[in-house]
Homo-oligomer: A and B are copies of this chain.
Amino acid sequence: MTRARIAALLLAACGLVAGCATPPFAATPDPAAPLVLAKQGSFFVGGRDLRSDALSLLPAYLPSGTITVDQMYVRYQVPVQATHAPIVLIHGCCLTGKTWETTPDGRMGWDEAYLRRGHPVYVVDQTWRGRSASDISAINAVKSGKESAEKLPVVFAAGHEGAWAIFRFGAEYPKTFEGQRFPLKSIDEFWKQMVPDWLNAQPTPNPTVANLSSLAKQLQGAVLMSHSQSGIYPFQTAQIDTAGIAAIVSIEPGACPSATADMMPFTKMPILVLFGDFVDLSTRWAPRLKACREFVAAANKAGGRAELMLLPEMGIKGNTHMLMQDDNSLQIADLLSAWIAKVAR
């Protein structure tokens, strides 16, 4: 390929690169266009050294020593011209940062969709999950007879059958809600994304939250975009310190802050709580939506700028709990990017 050809190819893609002459939000970014990055990489936030005498029962590795836990893995990419606010993508229960990457049926993930919109993107693995280390000392302490079984960590895995209803693919496994938009033909690829969840084995408060606060300050104005189990984390982060939080987007949070909590932290930044479809058909999710409505009202009453979007009320129907992977995932990314551009440019 000649230099001229490369330049032509890149200019052709220019409409998709933020800052080009064409209107930035004219259309959903084309995943087939070349992707031009200013930089990328990965790093950790936080972390604590811990002394243990139960690191190993194998002769090749010493039982005693120091390990580091509670750090949060972050992978980031920055487009050639970052015209929009950086977004931190925080996955939910039993999942990792993979949530936001290529969808189970092979379409572009939200990590790249926001990047192509001009947002720097930061994808994390929650502490004790994925590439963020957990502490397994208690397993060895019990296995060697030094501790009783009750000292074992609280760790769980969500089975396909139970997860089905939680993710609202249908009312119960393997039924489906009519018009649901998750790519179920590729469900096997989705199940591979699920990992054991060490949430309840971690110190309290969850170190992920303090790490998100550090990351937001480091980015000097980040949109914290959370999902499900992590839905509450950006709010908890704001309760520590509102510094560095440009906006909160909480997607189908497992919990919103209580409407009777101190609303002051939540008046300091724009807040969006987003829910998909079939919520009223789920005994798990319907009360959560109701509580989030009450929280949004309370935040606004206190002078905040909070919104609740229920996609079916906006004419967007069929979205499951995993809406970042549904067949209209890029439409929703466009919607959220436009909301961010409006409130947090």
Contacts and interface: CB of A to CB of B under 8 A. Distances in A.
B136 A143 contact: no
Contacts of A157: 52, 55-56, 61, 67, 133, 135-137
B39 A35 contact: yes
A65 B142 contact: no
Copies of the protein in its oligomer: 2
Nearest to A145: B149
Contacts of A80: 1, 6, 9, 34
B42 A162 contact: no
Contacts of A6: 10-11, 14, 17, 19-20, 36, 80-81
A26 interface: no
Contacts of A136: 155-157, 196
B160 A139 contact: no
Interface in A158-198: 158-163, 188-189, 191-196
B142 A142 contact: yes
A30 to B, nearest CB: 12
Chain A: interface residue count, which band? 35 or more
Given A66-B161, A68-B194, A101 B75 contact: yes
Given A98-B73, A188-B47, A159 B196 contact: no
B133 A125 contact: no
A221 B308 CA distance: 50
A108 interface: yes
B109 A41 contact: yes
A106 interface: yes
Interface string A314-329: 0000000000000000
A102 B160 contact: no
Given A55-B157, A154-B57, A156-B55, A14 B3 contact: yes
B68 A192 contact: yes
A139 to B, nearest CB: 6
A129 to B, nearest CB: 9
23 contacts: A3-B14, A6-B11, A6-B14, A6-B17, A7-B10, A9-B80, A10-B10, A42-B98, A44-B192, A44-B193, A47-B188, A55-B157, A56-B156, A64-B161, A65-B163, A66-B161, A67-B191, A73-B98, A125-B131, A134-B196, A136-B156, A143-B150, A149-B149
Given A44-B189, A49-B160, 15 more contacts: A1-B20, A6-B81, A41-B101, A43-B189, A49-B191, A56-B156, A56-B158, A58-B156, A66-B159, A66-B161, A67-B157, A133-B194, A133-B195, A135-B196, A143-B150
Interface of A: 1-3, 6-7, 9-11, 14, 17, 19-21, 31-32, 34-44, 47, 49, 52, 55-58, 61-62, 64-68, 71, 73, 75, 80-81, 96-98, 101-102, 106, 108-109, 112, 125, 130-137, 139-140, 142-143, 145, 149-150, 152-163, 188-189, 191-196, 200
